[in-house]
């Protein structure tokens, strides 16, 4: 069992003159009580976890059927609120697609959200395609978000006294006295500093070098760019202990770049605005543990059947605690690979890899899908490439859009072609185009590979 006393958590006390043992304020006490339960539930077996999820699902489905017009009509004949809920019965409910969430907002929202969960809060997410989605959450959803954030800190034994640097879309240049909402008023931390993802990578590296953070939190694509630039400059970022990433698919190459450039590990997480935390990286391995106390995750093949270990399928998520707008069997649009049970002892399901959206898969003429990985470091060594993006135009053609520091020689271009085509299925033509820059999407994310063929 995890021992949250190692390293000691500097809990903040609400009573004057009392610093140890700390007596936290009511909201912090509630969060710590939830974390206490998470610290124990992670060690349950798979069957025990499923039993607890079904108990929570029973409450959620009854509420959704009674108070959401969309579910009452969608589940007609497929759901009986008076019958005992089984997992098989749950999996017979229809999937909820992103388009339905976009088009049916008013009918998916609950007409009677529980007052004790907090007032509904409207959120919007653009996603990688720029197609906006609106949804409702509550204060309770935020409580679970904070609890899983603390679990992530606990799993990876972070030093709260250090400075946290955050570079994201919604972050602007500035300083805060703590690491954010999950720790504020609960745990005494060092400061955090922020900068915008829209800033030039060279300027961001200068900023990080001056700030000397213990932790860097950003997107994998930016981390790779900063690491490449650090290797070119010989900048080591002294004091950095760990890189944390989110929001984009992570290739193993980025982990190696962090080791090569800064000699630090990289820890990834898998979340979505619509459902919160989906999976956190295991403290002992590079794979992910589904956060089963907050979400029920299914990974389904093209026939809608659950995938076995080693198989790749669509990620379908049910949020277990959002009663303002229940998202039941939500096809989030991602692909992931199912993993075997983890030898760390946690009963939480394993995802070996999160492979990204449908539009990030290469589609061949016979309809097969692939997840090409070209290797950031290998491409950098093949030619002086600052940034790249691959766009599949037809089943037979992929365009490579390159930002280069100097024009490529014929030999360099040949090495680049050889590296890329070795990772593509046979019969696909590679075209190269040189551009001044490659922008990020509406959500601040960067897509290394985009297919315009059968994106669905």
- The 10s digit of each residue's pLDDT in 249-291 is 888 889 999 999 999 999 999 999 999 999 999 999 999 999 9
Asked whether residue 102 carries a pLDDT value surpassing 60, the answer given is yes
Asked whether residue 299 carries a pLDDT value surpassing 90, the answer given is yes
C-alpha triplet 443, 447, 449: angle, nearest 5°: 155
| CA R_g for the chain | 23
CA pair distance 444, 446, nearest whole angstrom: 7
What percentage of the chain's residues is helix, strand, coil (to nearest 5)?
30, 25, 45
pLDDT of residue 377: 66
CA pair distance 269, 250, nearest whole angstrom: 10
Asked whether residue 232 carries a pLDDT value surpassing 80, the answer given is yes
C-alpha triplet 279, 162, 155: angle, nearest 5°: 30
Asked whether residue 129 carries a pLDDT value surpassing 50, the answer given is no
CA pair distance 35, 12, nearest whole angstrom: 16
The more confident residue out of 320 and 405 is: 320
Contact 143, 31 (CB under 8 A): yes
pLDDT of residue 262: 97
CA pair distance 220, 255, nearest whole angstrom: 9
Asked whether residue 371 carries a pLDDT value surpassing 80, the answer given is no
pLDDT band at 419 (very low <50, low <70, confident <90, very high): confident
CA pair distance 49, 71, nearest whole angstrom: 26
Strand order in the sheet with 397-404: 429-434, 397-404, 385-394, 449-451
Q: Which of 450, 451, 448, 286 is nearest to 379 (CA)?
A: 448
Among the ranges given (4-8, 315-319, 320-324, 408-412), the one the predictor scored with the smallest mean pLDDT: 4-8
| Residue the block writes with tokens 């601040």 | 444
State the DSSP H helix or E strand holding residue 450, giving kind and residue range, or none if neither.
strand 449-451
CA pair distance 324, 339, nearest whole angstrom: 32
pLDDT of residue 32: 94
**pTM for this predicted structure:** 0.86
Among the ranges given (80-89, 167-176, 376-385, 413-422), the one the predictor scored with the smallest mean pLDDT: 376-385
CA 419 to chain centroid = 29
In 257-304, beta strands by DSSP E: 266-272, 276-281, 288-290, 295-300
Q: How many helices (H) and strands (E) does the chain have?
A: 12, 20
Q: Which of 258, 318, 366, 436 is nearest to 53 (CA)?
A: 318
pLDDT of residue 244: 97
pLDDT of residue 359: 65
Asked whether residue 150 carries a pLDDT value surpassing 50, the answer given is yes
pLDDT band at 2 (very low <50, low <70, confident <90, very high): very low
Contact 373, 315 (CB under 8 A): no
Contact 360, 312 (CB under 8 A): no
pLDDT band at 4 (very low <50, low <70, confident <90, very high): very low
Three-class secondary structure of residue 88 per DSSP: helix
Asked whether residue 179 carries a pLDDT value surpassing 60, the answer given is yes
How many C-alpha atoms does 119 have within 13 Å on its Cβ side? 2
Q: What is the mean pLDDT of residues 399-413?
A: 84
Asked whether residue 400 carries a pLDDT value surpassing 90, the answer given is no
| Residue the block writes with tokens 């998202």 | 327
Q: Which of 237, 180, 217, 226 is nearest to 199 (CA)?
A: 226
pLDDT of residue 445: 67
pLDDT band at 442 (very low <50, low <70, confident <90, very high): low
Sign of the dihedral through C-alpha 64, 67, 68, 69? positive
State the DSSP H helix or E strand holding residue 205, giving kind and residue range, or none if neither.
helix 201-211
């Amino acid at each position: 069992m995890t021992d949250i006393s190692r390293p000691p958590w500097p809990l903040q006390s609400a009573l004057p003159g009392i610093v140890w043992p700390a007596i936290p304020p009511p909201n912090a006490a509630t969060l710590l009580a939830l974390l206490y339960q998470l610290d124990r539930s992670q060690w349950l077996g798979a069957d025990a976890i499923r039993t607890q999820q079904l108990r929570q699902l029973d409450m959620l489905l009854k509420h959704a059927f009674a108070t959401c017009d969309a579910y009452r009509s969608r589940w007609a004949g497929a759901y009986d609120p008076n019958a005992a809920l089984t997992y098989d019965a749950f999996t017979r409910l229809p999937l909820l697609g992103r388009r339905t969430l976009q088009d049916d907002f008013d009918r998916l929202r609950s007409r009677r959200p529980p007052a004790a969960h907090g007032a509904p809060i409207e959120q919007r997410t653009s996603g990688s395609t720029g197609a906006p989605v609106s949804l409702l959450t509550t204060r309770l959803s935020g409580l679970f978000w904070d609890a899983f954030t603390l679990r992530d800190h606990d799993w990876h034994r972070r030093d709260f006294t250090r400075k946290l640097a955050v570079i994201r879309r919604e972050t602007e240049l500035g300083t805060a006295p703590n690491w954010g909402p999950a720790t504020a008023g609960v745990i005494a931390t060092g400061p955090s500093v922020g900068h915008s993802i829209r800033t030039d990578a060279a300027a961001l590296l200068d900023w990080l070098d001056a700030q000397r953070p213990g932790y860097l939190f950003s997107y994998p694509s930016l981390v790779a760019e900063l690491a490449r630039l650090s290797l070119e400059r010989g900048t080591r970022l002294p004091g950095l202990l760990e890189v944390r990433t989110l929001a984009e698919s992570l290739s193993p190459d980025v982990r190696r770049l962090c080791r090569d450039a800064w000699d630090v590990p990289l820890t990834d997480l898998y979340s979505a605005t619509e459902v919160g935390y989906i999976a956190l990286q295991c403290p002992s391995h590079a794979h992910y543990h589904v956060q089963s106390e907050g979400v029920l995750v299914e990974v389904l093949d093209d026939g809608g059947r659950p995938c076995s270990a080693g198989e790749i399928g669509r990620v379908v998520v049910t949020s277990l605690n959002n009663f303002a707008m229940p998202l039941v069997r939500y096809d989030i649009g991602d692909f992931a690979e199912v993993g075997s049970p983890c030898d760390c002892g946690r009963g939480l399901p394993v995802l070996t890899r999160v492979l990204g959206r449908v539009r990030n898969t290469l589609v061949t003429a016979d309809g097969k899908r692939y997840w090409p990985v070209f290797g950031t470091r290998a491409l950098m060594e093949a030619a002086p490439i600052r940034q790249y993006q691959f766009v599949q135009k037809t089943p037979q053609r992929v365009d490579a859009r390159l930002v280069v520091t100097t024009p490529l020689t014929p030999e360099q271009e040949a090495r680049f072609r050889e590296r890329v085509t070795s990772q593509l299925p046979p019969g696909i033509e590679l075209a190269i185009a040189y551009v001044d820059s490659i922008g990020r999407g509406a959500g601040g994310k960067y897509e290394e590979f985009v297919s315009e063929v059968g994106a669905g």
